Structure 1
Amino acid sequence: MYTLKRIWLQKDPEVFLQWQKLITRTGLAVGEEVAYTVGIFDQQTLIATASCYANIIKYVVVCEKKRSEQLLTQLISHLSDHIKDEGYTKSFVYTAPKNRLFFESLGFREVLAAQDILFMEQGVPSYESYAQQLQRQRIGQNNGAIVMNANPFTKGHLYLVETAASQKEQVYVFVLSEDRSQFSASERLRMVTEGLAHLSNVTVLPTNNYLVSSAVFPSYFLKEQAPEAIAKKQAAFDATLFKEKIAPLLAITTRFVGSEPYSLVTQLYNEAMAAVFSPELELIVIDRLKINQSTVSATKVRKAIAEKDLLSLQQFLPETTFSFLMQHNYI
């Protein structure tokens, strides 16, 4: 008789070792974020496991000798119920392409198959609804794109967009929808929209779950804490999703990014895009804006906010962002 129960990876070293061995035997790398893990035990031996972070299912593994016993169905059903109990209306899973039929039988739909990864989703809103939203915004045939967190929106971001807008018919600025920053997704979207309102050939859009999110690129939010090998793989996957699933919908031929002197993960992302995009998409790297010999960055701005350094804020922020911070009592 097997037992399914929650595993506390940080509190039970013995079970953690069993879990780690089970994961690594399948070729997966330990190091991604998980918040909830369950295991199926044969007495004291872990024979199957699955985890999730928010609504993203990860590390789904059944030991080789038990793969004929329908343990996957128990794991996924349990995690799906947990995700719904947490208030989510959809869930994602990374899996091997060989598992496609199994997950399709549970109602999952393919978002992207790339290399040895199959990325699927279940529930609403779906990728298809997001794709329809993007298609309604399509203008022109030779367009550019920028993806930004804008935490908050700075003169550096503005300079990047204005440079792109001077070179393309239309520029689509995607603002990260993930709420893992000092400013919320709605606040950042508003700051970007207000800051770019004077540019007639710029459209501001949310990323939802499909660009630089916990679902496709969680290492981005861990920055230097992220294992480099995992960050590289996720960066390449995110770049592939953009190239195959986003760019064609909006006739995007060029992605613009800022140079990255500070963050290793962001630099890895830029390198992954250059490798994945070629030759279909062009990647243009714009040198970061400097003001009085100081490179503008959102990190410096957040430090200035914490220190109530109004002089630096006025120097680094467009009027629209400075007014937003004043109105909402951030400074």
Structure 2
Amino acid sequence: MYTLKRIWLNKDPKGYAQWEKLVIAAGLAIGEEVTYTIGLFEQERLIATASCYHNIMKYVVVCKEKQSEQLLTRMVVHLTMRIKDEGYTNYFVYTAPKNRLIFASLGFHEVNACKDIVFMEQGTPSFASYIDLLRQKATDKEASGIVMNANPFTKGHLHLVEAAANQSEQVYLFVVSEERSEFSFQERMAMVQQGVAHLSNVIVLPTNNYLISSAVFPSYFLKEHAPLAIAKTQATFDAKLFKEKIAPVLSITTRYVGEEPYSQVTQLYNESMATIFEPEIQLRIIPRLLVDESPVSATKVRQALKDKDQDVLTKFLPESTYSFLKKYNYI
């Protein structure tokens, strides 16, 4: 008889030590964000564990000698109920390819896979509904793609979009939907839409859960605190999902990114895209815009907002963003 208990990883040193040993033995890297962890115990011994970060299941592990006992199913059902109780209507899991059939039997559908990882989901909205949205926006033109957080939308972002618009028949501009920024998704989307309104060949789209999200690429939001080995795996997976499942729907053959001298994770993402995209998609890196010999960055703008530095704000923000921030009392 096994006992299912919650493990408080940040409060229970003994529980954490057992969890860490089990996870490492399964070949998984420590460092992913989690908000809830459970374990199955045989008396005092941890024999299986599973975690979630909000509606994303992670670290689903059963020790080798117990893998024939369907313990994984028991833990996934428990996590699913918890996620539903928290109000989510869809949920995701990263798992090893060997677990694909088990999760499929529990109602999960595969979104994408690579050598070591299968990414699956259940519920609505789904990846299929996201692809339907993209199809509705698709044109017959050969296109470029840009993905940006725009936190907030700066002259640097505008410079990148205008470069793509000048060199492409059609540009699909994806705004990160994840709510892990100082500005909400709705605010960032509005700033981008207003900022590119003069560009008739740019269509603005959300990323939902499928590009630079907590489900696909959580390390992106940790930046300098992200373990680089984990970030590289996630960046590669994000790039592969874009190349294989999203770009073909929109006839995207070029992806534009900004030069990134400051963030290791973003630089690693650019490198992963360059490797994964070849030869089907060309990656074009646009040098950062300089204003008075200073590189424009959203980080500097956010600091200027805190410091009420009007000089930086007027130099680094397009009129549309400045007006938006003033209207909603950020300035």
TM-score class, shorter:
over 0.9
Structure 1, residues 200-245: CA drift from partner, whole Å, max 9, x if none?
A: 0000000000000000000000001011100111000000000001
1:53 alignment partner in structure 2: 53
Task: Using the TM superposition, give the Cα deviation of residue 326 of structure 1 relative to its aligned residue in structure 2, in angstroms.
Answer: 0.5
Structure 2 CA distance for aligned equivalents of residues 231 and 122 of structure 1? 24
Are 1:48 and 1:63, in contact at CA under 8 Å, matched by a contact in 2?
A: yes
1:22 alignment partner in structure 2: 22
User: Once the two structures are aligned, what percentage of the paired residues are identical?
Assistant: 67
* SS state at 2:231 partner: helix
Task: Using the TM superposition, give the Cα deviation of residue 97 of structure 1 relative to its aligned residue in structure 2, in angstroms.
Answer: 1.3
Are 1:257 and 1:284, in contact at CA under 8 Å, matched by a contact in 2?
A: yes
1:252 alignment partner in structure 2: 252
Equivalent AA in structure 2 for residue 262 of structure 1: Y
2:95 alignment partner in structure 1: 95
Task: Using the TM superposition, give the Cα deviation of residue 141 of structure 1 relative to its aligned residue in structure 2, in angstroms.
Answer: 3.2
Task: Using the TM superposition, give the Cα deviation of residue 68 of structure 1 relative to its aligned residue in structure 2, in angstroms.
Answer: 1.4
Structure 1 CA distance for aligned equivalents of residues 61 and 261 of structure 2? 38
1:73 counterpart = 2:73: yes
The TM-score with structure 1 as length reference comes to: 0.99
* SS state at 1:166 partner: helix
The equivalences for 1:1-331 within 5 A come to 1-331=1-331
Structure 1 moving runs of 4+ over 2 Å: none
Equivalent AA in structure 2 for residue 142 of structure 1: E
Task: Using the TM superposition, give the Cα deviation of residue 79 of structure 1 relative to its aligned residue in structure 2, in angstroms.
Answer: 0.3
What are structure 1's unaligned runs of at least 5 residues?
none
Are 1:140 and 1:169, in contact at CA under 8 Å, matched by a contact in 2?
A: no
* SS state at 2:167 partner: coil
What are structure 2's unaligned runs of at least 5 residues?
none
Structure 1, residues 155-206: CA drift from partner, whole Å, max 9, x if none?
A: 0000000000001110000000000000001100010001000000000000
Structure 1 CA distance for aligned equivalents of residues 303 and 218 of structure 2? 24
Structure 2 CA distance for aligned equivalents of residues 221 and 299 of structure 1? 13
Are 1:146 and 1:257, in contact at CA under 8 Å, matched by a contact in 2?
A: yes
Structure 2 CA distance for aligned equivalents of residues 252 and 240 of structure 1? 14
Structure 2 CA distance for aligned equivalents of residues 130 and 96 of structure 1? 24
Range with bigger deviation, 65-74 or 256-265: 65-74
* SS state at 2:129 partner: helix
Structure 1, residues 32-51: CA drift from partner, whole Å, max 9, x if none?
A: 10110000000110000000
* SS state at 1:265 partner: helix
Task: Using the TM superposition, give the Cα deviation of residue 70 of structure 1 relative to its aligned residue in structure 2, in angstroms.
Answer: 1.5
* SS state at 1:91 partner: strand
Structure 2 CA distance for aligned equivalents of residues 194 and 115 of structure 1? 41
Structure 1 CA distance for aligned equivalents of residues 99 and 47 of structure 2? 18
Task: Using the TM superposition, give the Cα deviation of residue 74 of structure 1 relative to its aligned residue in structure 2, in angstroms.
Answer: 1.0
Are 1:140 and 1:170, in contact at CA under 8 Å, matched by a contact in 2?
A: no
Task: Using the TM superposition, give the Cα deviation of residue 73 of structure 1 relative to its aligned residue in structure 2, in angstroms.
Answer: 1.1
Task: Using the TM superposition, give the Cα deviation of residue 140 of structure 1 relative to its aligned residue in structure 2, in angstroms.
Answer: 3.1
Structure 2 CA distance for aligned equivalents of residues 320 and 82 of structure 1? 42
Structure 1 CA distance for aligned equivalents of residues 20 and 79 of structure 2? 19
Structure 2 CA distance for aligned equivalents of residues 284 and 50 of structure 1? 40
Q: CA RMSD in A?
A: 0.6
Structure 1, residues 56-90: CA drift from partner, whole Å, max 9, x if none?
A: 00000001111111111110010001111111100
Task: Using the TM superposition, give the Cα deviation of residue 274 of structure 1 relative to its aligned residue in structure 2, in angstroms.
Answer: 0.3
The TM-score with structure 2 as length reference comes to: 0.99
Are 1:144 and 1:168, in contact at CA under 8 Å, matched by a contact in 2?
A: yes
* SS state at 1:38 partner: strand
Structure 2 CA distance for aligned equivalents of residues 240 and 92 of structure 1? 17
Equivalent AA in structure 2 for residue 144 of structure 1: S
